[in-house]
Structure 1
Amino acid sequence: MSGKKEFGTTADGKQASLYTIRRGTCEADLTDFGASLVAFRTEDRDGRLTDVVLGYDDVRGYEEGDASMGGSVGRNANRIDGASFSLNGKTFCLDRNEGENNLHSGWNRYEKRIWKTEGVSADGTSITFSLYSPDGDQGFPGNLVISVTYSFPEEGALQLLWRAQADQDTVCNPTNHSYFNLNGQGSGTDICGHQVQIFAEQFIPVRKGGIPTGEQAEVEGTPFDFRAPKEIGADIERADEQLQLTGGYDHNYVLAEKQDRMRRAAVVFAPKTGLRMEVITDEPGLQFYTGNFLKKQKGKAGAVYDFRSGFAMETQYFPNAVNLPQFAQPVLRAGGAFESATVYRFSRVLP
């Protein structure tokens, strides 16, 4: 069965809760604050239970933190150029919370709100959180009801299932923003020794501000080529304009032209612990981010997260897609239904 306990109170006195779901030897801690993933524990090659997700000890950490750790990001993940977009001939203005641009939907983010807990499965392997986002919320049109279900369809595989409906055409591009370190969240090591494979022939180049140029560039011959397993640190310091613009990897990889089927997007392996993580999704893009802006954040159990202490694999539509018609469009039509799934599957490689 799942566990529930208090997770502290927000600055305005709201009580947050922490839930644990489990299957076999794997456990995930989740909070209704931001529908956030707080921890994921699994056995490494030596049988040690290892928490591989960066996070905080209580709700105040999530409330005050600025790195979106573990959070459910929406309505739109990533960046929108000029903090505005047009839909059905009307222009919508959003918060300019990253220079002149909009990042993760602005100041009043979904990850900073308490979501409704819809229910925990009888066997303790899944939990669903939901949120009502009214018309005009964050500047987006339409009343939106969105939910995310975290579940263990099998041991070691944490699935995130998103569902949403709206009464007007709107943007709907949620993601989970967990940071992972397969050496352990409190190991004190960076993630540069992790080996990464990304199953993509192209990536999305950006200009200053992390805004896409509108191109889909071939990874071949660039530091962005992870078609074969490669250490994160192998090319991250190369004198490459794209890497210098973002301080490391913070780019979207092209998985498919549209959402259509579940497919493997990436594999990450940590030689130190023998832990392996697969990312499986039906989303068109994968944002690979190497924690370039983490700086002395106080995390769980006394851990301090610094530069490149964790990596993120955010499944989503391409950044600024709503302003670039050549990209798959993150538009949810009135009366329609949005549904998308991502699985983080963990295993251990024995010697």
Structure 2
Amino acid sequence: MVEKKFFEKLADGRIAESVSLKGKGGLEAVILTYGATIKNLYFGGKDVCLGFDTIEGYEKNLGGYQGATVGRYANRIAKGKFTLNGVEYDIGLNDGGKAHLHGGFVGFNQKIWDVEVVSEDTPKVRFSCTADDGEMGYPGNMKINVTFTVTDDNVLKLEYFATTDKDTIVNMTNHAYFNPNGFDGGDATTIQMQINAEKITAADECLIPYDYLNVEGTPFDFRTLTKVGNRLDSEHPQIKLVGGGIDHNFVLGMDRKFRHAATLKSEETGIEIKCFTDLPGVQIYTANFLDCNCGKGGINLYKHQGICMETQFFPDSPNHSEYPSCTLKAGEAFESVTEYRFTV
């Protein structure tokens, strides 16, 4: 079942709608046309996605990217610059003047996306938007689609698609904060997490990768299910660097093989969320700087209350020829699939 309805007006008068996709297995996703944002994920009697009840909440907390589709380039680019085909592009420093983050000052998360219902029986909805040549400094007129599907066996499938008329870079992800205890279930440090990665990209003070770090013997070793809170009070310099937590790219592979990336599991509710992707990395973020008092149901959102599993190319890939390429050539199409599989 698919239901589309008016949500609220933004401060600038634009209209945001909500689209509900309810599968036969019980999983329901509510997505806003504002930012193609996942607002709710209902499963097993819980809403397991952090967010806000009002559009004002999203507008006032843009820096958290709650549930938003992020682009043109998710994660960070060093010094807000990259070179493509011998041309240097300046895309701005919107991360505290240190780096370019999540597409710039006005990214995909602030657009009103068009929406098309593809299927009612197996709920499938296509969100689309455009990005102009030179927008936020990026080259190429882009056409972007993200198709959300809720399957009968409780999978939320995200299919990313983009084309361009000029060579450009692309790295789209979704910035949902998951808590399988429920959005009101308190601290996510009680969650068990597993990540299928043997190394991360170690970050400098601007959170730009400079080397690989093997996870064995470090607090980043989540190759088996491990309670998250057991690792976040570590004195490891990479943990302390990001405010006492994790905000790192875990290396899944150097190819585009579709694979199991990560798992979150609640011992309290029994809800398990498995993330699969064909992208080479997943950014695990433990909400180290989350702090606002206007979350769903009037609850405060605070540090470590949710965990993001952001499937992606590696941070700063345009400036690292040794990383998997994020270049999209004119006339070609970028395609990627991420799945979140829910069980209880």
| In the alignment, structure 1 residue 69 sits paired with structure 2 residue 69 | no
**Contact persistence 2:29–2:150 (CA under 8 A):** no
**How far apart, CA to CA, are the structure 2 residues paired with 1:307 and 1:277?**
21
Task: Please list, as runs of the form range in 1=range in 2, the aligned pairs for 1:129-144 lying within 5 A after superposition.
Answer: 129-144=127-142
TM-score of the superposed pair, with normalisation by structure 1: 0.95
Structure 2 letter corresponding to 1:137: E
Any gaps of 5 or more consecutive residues in structure 1?
44-48
**How far apart, CA to CA, are the structure 2 residues paired with 1:207 and 1:115?**
35
Aligned to 1:246: 242
**Contact persistence 2:122–2:151 (CA under 8 A):** no
**How far apart, CA to CA, are the structure 2 residues paired with 1:118 and 1:101?**
35
Name the SS of the counterpart of 1:309 in structure 2.
coil
Between Structure 1 and Structure 2, how many residues are aligned?
340
Alpha carbons of structure 1 residues 327 and 297: separation in structure 2 relative to 1, 3 Å: farther
| In the alignment, structure 1 residue 30 sits paired with structure 2 residue 27 | no
CA-CA distance at 1:35 after TM superposition: 0.5
TM-score of the superposed pair, with normalisation by structure 2: 0.97
Any gaps of 5 or more consecutive residues in structure 2?
none
CA-CA distance at 1:120 after TM superposition: 4.3
Structure 2 letter corresponding to 1:29: V
Deviation readout 1:168-218 (Å, 9 max, x if unpaired): 11011000000011111022x1111111110111111001011111x2221
Q: Return the match for 1:287 from 264, 283, 286.
A: 283
Q: Return the match for 2:87 from 82, 87, 90.
A: 90
CA-CA distance at 1:304 after TM superposition: 1.4
CA-CA distance at 1:297 after TM superposition: 3.8
**How far apart, CA to CA, are the structure 2 residues paired with 1:301 and 1:232?**
25
**How far apart, CA to CA, are the structure 2 residues paired with 1:238 and 1:324?**
29
CA-CA distance at 1:296 after TM superposition: 2.7
**Contact persistence 1:185–1:303 (CA under 8 A):** no
**How far apart, CA to CA, are the structure 1 residues paired with 2:4 and 2:331?**
35
Aligned to 2:220: 224
CA-CA distance at 1:298 after TM superposition: 1.2
**Contact persistence 2:122–2:150 (CA under 8 A):** no
Aligned to 1:207: 204
CA-CA distance at 1:146 after TM superposition: 0.6
Aligned to 1:46: none
Deviates most, 338-347 or 261-270: 261-270
**Contact persistence 1:29–1:40 (CA under 8 A):** yes
CA-CA distance at 1:347 after TM superposition: 0.4
Q: Return the match for 1:332 from 310, 328, 331.
A: 328
Q: Return the match for 1:258 from 235, 255, 259.
A: 255
Task: Please list, as runs of the form range in 1=range in 2, the aligned pairs for 1:340-351 lying within 5 A after superposition.
Answer: 340-348=336-344
